[in-house]
Chains A and B, each alone.
Chain A
Amino acid sequence: MSQAVDEIKIGGLGASRKRVEDSRFIRGKGNYTDDIVLPGMLHMEILRSPLAHARIKSIDASKAWDIPGVHLVLTGEMMATRNLAWMPTLSYDTQAVLATDKVRFQGQEVACVIADDPYIAKDACEAIVVDYEPLPVIVNPAQAVADGAPVIRDDKDNQPDNVIYDWEVGDRDGTDRAFASADLVSKLELHYPRSHPSPIECCGSIADFNRATSKLTVYMTTQAPHIIRAAVAMVAELPEHMIRIISPDIGGGFGNKVPVYPGYVCSILASILLERPVKWIEDKSGNLISTGFARDVYLKGEMALRRDGKILAVRMHTDADHGAFFSDAQPSKFKIGLMHSAFAAYDVPVAHLTARGTYSNKAPGGVAYRCSFRVTEAMFFQERMVQAAAADLGMDQAEFRRMNFVPDDAFPHRTPFGFLTDSGQYAKCLEVGLKAIDYDNFRQQQAQARERGRLLGLGISTMTEPLGAGNSREYDILGIKMFDSAELKVHMTGKAIVRTGARGQGQGHETTWAQIVAHELGIPADDIVVEEGDTDTAPFGMGTYASRSTPVAGAAVAMVARKIRAKARKLAAHLLEVSEEDVEWELGRFYVRSAPDRGVTIQECAIAAYANMPDGMEPGLDATAYYDPPNLTWPFAVYIVTVEVDPDTGVWDVLNMVAVDDCGIRINPMIVEGQIMGGLTEAYAMSNMQFITFDADGNCVGSNYMDYLLPTAWETPGFELHSEVVTPCPHHPIGAKGIGECAAVGGPAAFVNAVMDAISATGVRNVDMPLLPDRVWEAITYRRDVSGAPPVRSDD
């Protein structure tokens, strides 16, 4: 006689199961790209441009060739003979692999050297002499569209200026009408600074072309190995079945490891030419100055308001600086990503968004850094505009939000920009957050402190964001629809292996995918191994970014387990000698409806699939599922921060931070909380210290960890997390939603709103992130807005 199993005991849904992947990481036995050594492997280093915009007059690599141990020096000219000097980007643009005519940003790849060891390769890079003729430099969108601006992309036909796109969404006329009837129009302009995801592990690859088999194997730091395989097939003109991309352990990704980088392409060509494995491991400066940046968007926002606080309409214009090449990884229909997800949580009758993208002499990217394609900017703009509007109305920040939230009974709700939100309990989340921060009491303390000259502030950020791109109707990258996949093989002893088209980088897929299978089949999670990242074995998927793993690949895992359960039911009926209709399921076992004591376990069904299947049944217990989600998932979050600002120095300290996240059903609460804390820390980083800027000559400021400040354990505040509000996603098979990025998306506005609240008596409307002490001090002292837009200000 068998019994149903206890879901938590077997590590199913809701179990804070300890992570499987930890046992290798805590022993130093992870297997990251740089840890891999292949026989005969050579090492590649890249020579980068010191100038932001210059014509290349000549490249003399003869001294590099002369250094013992150098096997190959690649330049743009040599790449061009193989039609590899340029490559397509994920946004229908082109990007230089190695520069031929010009360099267009500081840090651009100019040449590379392949040598016996990385030290020799670096020596050889220094021996290459490049003669540059400097050209005028553009570091922001205003310069890009100014009269007489140099055309950066003169390599392209039909590109007479620096504008990449002009895009719009929403109802222009309706919005104009609503503004005309408004009691009050609240305006805000600001810049979301350029940032870099900056995983601690830099990018790298080991290309291994085998002439005998014609097979190319590439180990690389990629969050999306199948997309890379397709891209390599296109760029290198190799047949796709002869390309194997292996993404080993990844030391953090955060969106930085989605695009195709020149270094990958060069290592592949070098391996093909030399017929030896070629390893390229980027250094930190190379990573920060050349690979996918994020943000760098300017907002002009306007909100039409009724006197009582009701939002009548929203108008937004964004200017995005994409750098020298439009190489964002965005769904192809949406030029500025999901910027139009702004105001999804608010009942806004009508809205209009215009967006312009421009080139500059800065590194390309615009990647979704812990973000679903610009939702980070969207939610920051939204929450800064909401704060400004409430202040303009003289209304309480919480009350203004409460009044304008989409109410719980209004779902499904069509947002003014066309998204369909399907569920949420926004006001309830806000109440949990306000109670946790002791809102009314804090406001009293704040008033008392102000009388004594102390500046306390409280910032709220509330938002719902679209996670889990996508549904295939609307979401594709280069035409490839954004579904995902899972394959499940149950072995005869009831143990199993799951493979998906996602690729974790610390999110704990090896732990949580097994929990979903445990939930669906009752097989203990410890009996299930999870494997991802090898395109020769994993089913096709679009990879891990934009918080899409749980919404899409995780859903595929549940669906494939259900396919297995359906077959196991037939096996159970056979074993129990009853018809399939008479078989009932409870976790881990089938039983006869009329005789519940008569049952068989899932493990007994598994062995029957190999040893005792009914006549005519296909043997084995394997399945693959491709999952195309019907909609995005819409987690909701409330972040509330209290701060104290020192009026003499502009330094601000976090007093408390409360996070209320409604991400639906939590597969592994421990891991979910880890994701939230990581996101909050990045939010704090962006608001407080972390940014990349440029001087007027296009020199990158923030090109290493001495200039690009990341918070340490010392300054990172503590966080209080709340999980009381649970609204299961109505369409996800297990009710889960994305969570990885929520805190990084919604968090920054909470910190900034808190500081702006603290200095509200100055009348200052905006200080651009990061809120460095000198900027806050300037705002307090001179009572003026402070812009952080490049070029950086000089003292003279």
Chain B
Amino acid sequence: MQRRAGGKGGLIMTIVYSDREDEAAAQVPMRRIKFTVNGEKKIAEVEPRLLLAHLIRQGLRLTGTHTGCDTTNCGACTVLVDGQAVKSCTMLAVQVDGHEIQTVEGLASASELHPLQEGFREEHGLQCGFCTPGMMLAAKALLDRNPDPTEEEVRWALSGNLCRCTGYQNIVKSVLWAAAKLRAQAPAD
């Protein structure tokens, strides 16, 4: 059995089941969803139980979103849904129907890095890199609503994201570095 979804320029998700001559495969319910990821419109057909993290990683092949813990503690899978930081292992793919997702792959433009990406490199805010995309997106959600956070506010905003390598001190510096650069770039009022 084969399913196709999408059309011109859309996502094609295909699942092939072994034909064991029973009805079980045919009974897998599927839902069609439409959403935007990093500015591109997509259509997908998904099982209702599919986690958003897996839609992003396996369906969209955007592997910068990592899965770490399964219990919504580590934050490695953090993405932005309509600008809000969301742990994508806690959200079902069907819940983003009609919504807008931003992943780490959407942070940089073709020609330049986002200041958060620069900040993490400049301040040595990463080591193994596994938590980094989630950290940067959680930080982006903060800076979008608070362009001039204190160190304490940065620490609080990142407290849903675990890092085992850095001890956070340089991550906090990285975010403050990015905040300063973003403020300097912002058009004067």
Q: Enumerate chain A interface residues (CB-CB to B < 8 A).
A: 18-19, 21-30, 32, 34-35, 37, 66-71, 116-117, 119, 198-202, 249-254, 283-285, 505-508, 670-671, 673-674, 677-682, 704-706, 710, 712-714, 716, 718-719
B57 CB contacts on chain A under 8 angstroms: 34-35
In the complex, chain B residues 103-136 whose Cβ is within 8 Å of any chain A Cβ: 103-105, 107-108, 113, 117, 120-122, 124, 126-133, 136
Cβ–Cβ contact A677 & B105, under 8 A: no
Q: Which of the residues B16, B58, B129 comes within 8 Å of A251, measured between beta carbons?
A: B129
B167 CB contacts on chain A under 8 angstroms: 677-681, 716, 719
**Cα distance A200–B19 in the bound complex, in angstroms:** 38
B136 CB contacts on chain A under 8 angstroms: 26
Cβ–Cβ contact A706 & B73, under 8 A: yes
A46 nearest CB across to chain B (Å)? 14
A506 CB contacts on chain B under 8 angstroms: 126-129, 165
Cβ–Cβ contact B128 & A250, under 8 A: yes
B52 nearest CB across to chain A (Å)? 14
B160 nearest CB across to chain A (Å)? 7
5 contacts between A and B (CB under 8 A): A26-B121, A34-B66, A35-B57, A116-B17, A198-B164
- In the complex, besides A18-B122, A716-B167, 6 extra interface pairs with C-beta distance below 8 angstroms are A200-B163, A671-B124, A705-B162, A710-B162, A712-B162, A714-B159
Q: Which of the residues A25, A67, A284, A705 comes within 8 Å of B129, measured between beta carbons?
A: A25
Nearest 6 pairs of A and B residues by beta carbon: A28-B64, A25-B129, A251-B130, A506-B128, A506-B127, A28-B104
Q: Enumerate chain B interface residues (CB-CB to A < 8 A).
A: 15-20, 22, 24-25, 47, 49-50, 57-58, 61-71, 73-74, 76, 103-105, 107-108, 113, 117, 120-122, 124, 126-133, 136, 154-156, 158-172
Cβ–Cβ contact B129 & A30, under 8 A: yes
B148 nearest CB across to chain A (Å)? 18
Cβ–Cβ contact A254 & B103, under 8 A: no
A201 CB contacts on chain B under 8 angstroms: 66, 68, 76, 128, 130
Cβ–Cβ contact A718 & B105, under 8 A: no
B24 CB contacts on chain A under 8 angstroms: 67-68
Q: Number of contacts between A and B (CB, 8 Å)?
A: 191
A680 CB contacts on chain B under 8 angstroms: 167
Cβ–Cβ contact A26 & B66, under 8 A: no
Main secondary structure of the interface of A (DSSP, over half): loop
Cβ–Cβ contact B18 & A28, under 8 A: no
A49 nearest CB across to chain B (Å)? 19
**Cα distance A34–B64 in the bound complex, in angstroms:** 11
A199 CB contacts on chain B under 8 angstroms: 128, 130, 164
B49 CB contacts on chain A under 8 angstroms: 119
Cβ–Cβ contact B70 & A284, under 8 A: yes
**Which of A37, A253, A712 has the largest number of chain B CB atoms within 10 A?**
A712
A35 CB contacts on chain B under 8 angstroms: 57, 63
Cβ–Cβ contact A678 & B166, under 8 A: yes
Cβ–Cβ contact B129 & A68, under 8 A: no
Known A19-B121, A116-B16, A706-B73: A252·B165 in contact at CB below 8 Å: yes
Cβ–Cβ contact A28 & B63, under 8 A: yes
Known A68-B22, A68-B25: A200·B168 in contact at CB below 8 Å: no
Q: Which of the residues A678, A704, A705, A713 comes within 8 Å of B127, measured between beta carbons?
A: A678
B124 CB contacts on chain A under 8 angstroms: 18-19, 670-671, 673-674
**Cα distance A670–B155 in the bound complex, in angstroms:** 21
**Cα distance A117–B15 in the bound complex, in angstroms:** 9
B109 nearest CB across to chain A (Å)? 12
**Cα distance A681–B169 in the bound complex, in angstroms:** 10
Q: Which of the residues B22, B70, B120, B165 comes within 8 Å of A678, measured between beta carbons?
A: B165
B161 nearest CB across to chain A (Å)? 7
